[in-house]
Chain A
Amino acid sequence: MSLLSLNNVEVAYDRVFLAIKGVSLDVEEGSMVALLGANGAGKSTTLKTISGLLAPERGAVRRGQVSFLGRDIGHLSPPQRVRMGLVHVLEGRRIFEHLTPNDNLLAAYPGHHARSSFKQLRDQAYAYFPRLAERSRSKAGYLSGGEQQMLAIARALMTEPRLIMLDEPSLGLAPVLVKEIFAIIRAINRTQKTSVLLVEQNATAALDVADHAYLIENGNIVMSGTAEVMKQNPDIQEFYLGGGERVDYHNVKHYRRRKRWLA
């Protein structure tokens, strides 16, 4: 049985605007799954559905169910879901700017619900992100973009998650940093057996680290498969990986390839 499964979930904003329509996906224990898609395809909405953050944006699940560890979690509040081991790293970091990185980590520590001590968890987070340890006493608002993203991930790790959901961790970062952060995410996934659900625009980087991938378009899951298979798919190569082989435009009749899953 999979750790997280979404079954035919439909989400509407403001009661009338349908954002995702019948999304089903599974995340296995210890696996790393990427959710790819263009802007506005419904990736972030899917993550918010899982973490329970739809209400502040006036959204609601209209149909289908989200189950985690075999339990339907549709009625649980976001903090309850975090306690079950489901944590969401929001797009755009959202760290607590006026606290130091150390206090940011402390804020996420679940206290007496935790299995390990704060010091253990903090040292582990700093082991993954040595740069944070160097800057642990300055204000988090003064950290660079990459360091803030690292802090956001480290903060999520403090809740001892079974599944960590990352919304665009590469947003606005230099390619070198993207590579570094993805390597760390992979390491967390490997060593701790934490499952990862990764939402990314940067399909190349995501498919390099993920085991499995889903492609979402216009609120529908249109393709899924292992990362290797997805990488080989000519449509994925053309629309998300950029190019593939070069096309000789002199001989080409249809110079714009159709997305063939769009009828």
Chain B
Amino acid sequence: MFYRLSGVYHTRYSATRQLWPIPADRWQIGAVAVLALAAPLYMSDLYLSSYLLPWLIFSAATLALTLLMGLAGQLHFGFGAVMAIGAYTSIHLARAGVPFELALLAAGLMAALIGCLFGAAALRVKGLYLVMATLAMQFLVDWVIVNVNAISGGAVATLQTPQVSYLFVPVASLTARYYLALLWAAIVTLLVLNIKRTSFGRALVAVRDKDFAAAVIGVNIFKYKLLAFFTSSFLGGVTGSILAFCFYQAVTPSQFNFDVTIQLVAMALVGGLGSVIGGFLGAGFVLLAPIVLLNLIARMTDAGWLNVSTTLMAHIPLMLYGAMIIGFLLFEPLGLAKIYDNARKYFLVWPFRHTQS
């Protein structure tokens, strides 16, 4: 088989320590990168703008969340609010004439700052209690945004994003917006992949697995919990403003409400907590599965195979989608990433059935 370890001999430490030591993995990544870069050439505008673009942005958001929930083990049910802070910060700065690059940076910093403030609760509480603390953040931030007119312009107001340019390219055409989102998704992916193999990542995993055991081997829990909130909220804030500028091209409070938070948590869980490929798979599944199912059902009714009322037709995809989430999690409780990993391991030891110690 093409996908195997045998015959792969690394002769230098740098070769064994590279991100993807198996050649087949590198080819896969290369193929995906080429497909993603060439997407505007072969994809229709509809697919590019309403499928691929949000998938990339939500994948970045899921990765930011999985860094906190999966790697550092700190439950966060207010990530929509983190993204909202980023989006509103950047849009106000951009409107005031601040260059977009700086506005993005400020968005991340603002989100990180406020995220850390609520994350400080994690120093005292764990598990479900931390969920409550972060939920409080979600509702507080929502309330402030809706009720302070200087921020949102009112509960139902929509702020249009101003014309900005990124690295001298105007962020206006679909292609430009797509490439900006792709760039950001690539940056976040590489960052999270690399965090996992640095001392920072190992410290986060230690804090997740047993925080007092981490403390007795000299890991400063206080520092690393806050750093986890800082990093994750920073990425979340920037992703929020990328979402606003590249996808919605406007900001309203409802874009970042509690539903979005739940969706993000679902993406991280369905994909597989703490996994990078899982972030992409989870975001893709949660975003695209309902659309694909809806199209499928619609096509079936058009062809006359299925005779249902329109109200039922709207509900069938949702029911199927819920059943699919439960089904996948029953089949593999550790998420889509684990299914991928099992398949990969199967090929790595093929034609044998098992590995041994």
Chain A residues within 8 Å of B, Cβ to Cβ: 12, 14-18, 40, 62, 218-219
B356:A14 contact, CB within 8 angstroms:
no
Q: Known pairs A14-B342, A15-B345, A40-B357. 17 more at Cβ < 8 A?
A: A12-B353, A12-B354, A14-B345, A15-B342, A16-B342, A16-B345, A16-B346, A16-B349, A16-B353, A17-B355, A17-B357, A18-B354, A18-B355, A18-B356, A62-B353, A218-B357, A219-B356
A56 to chain B, nearest CB (A): 10
A15 contact from B346, B356, B357, Cβ within 8 A: B346
Interface positions, chain B 304-357, Cβ under 8 Å from A, are 342, 345-346, 349, 353-357
A40 to B357 Cα, complex, angstroms: 9
Interface residues on B, range: under 10
A219 to chain B, nearest CB (A): 8
A109 to B346 Cα, complex, angstroms: 44
B354 contact from A17, A40, A218, Cβ within 8 A: A17
B10 to chain A, nearest CB (A): 22
- Interfacial chain B residues near A17, Cβ < 8 Å: 354-357
A15 to B339 Cα, complex, angstroms: 11
Number of A-B contacts (CB under 8 A): 27
A218 to B356 Cα, complex, angstroms: 9
- Interfacial chain A residues near B355, Cβ < 8 Å: 16-18
A135 to chain B, nearest CB (A): 26
- Interfacial chain A residues near B354, Cβ < 8 Å: 12, 16-18
Q: Could you show 11 A-B contacts with beta carbons less than 8 Å apart?
A: A15-B345, A15-B346, A16-B342, A16-B349, A16-B353, A16-B354, A17-B354, A17-B355, A18-B354, A40-B357, A219-B356
Residue of A nearest to B342 (CB): A15
- Interfacial chain B residues near A12, Cβ < 8 Å: 353-354
Residue of A nearest to B333 (CB): A58
A14 to B332 Cα, complex, angstroms: 11
- Interfacial chain B residues near A40, Cβ < 8 Å: 357
A16 to B354 Cα, complex, angstroms: 4
A219 to B356 Cα, complex, angstroms: 10
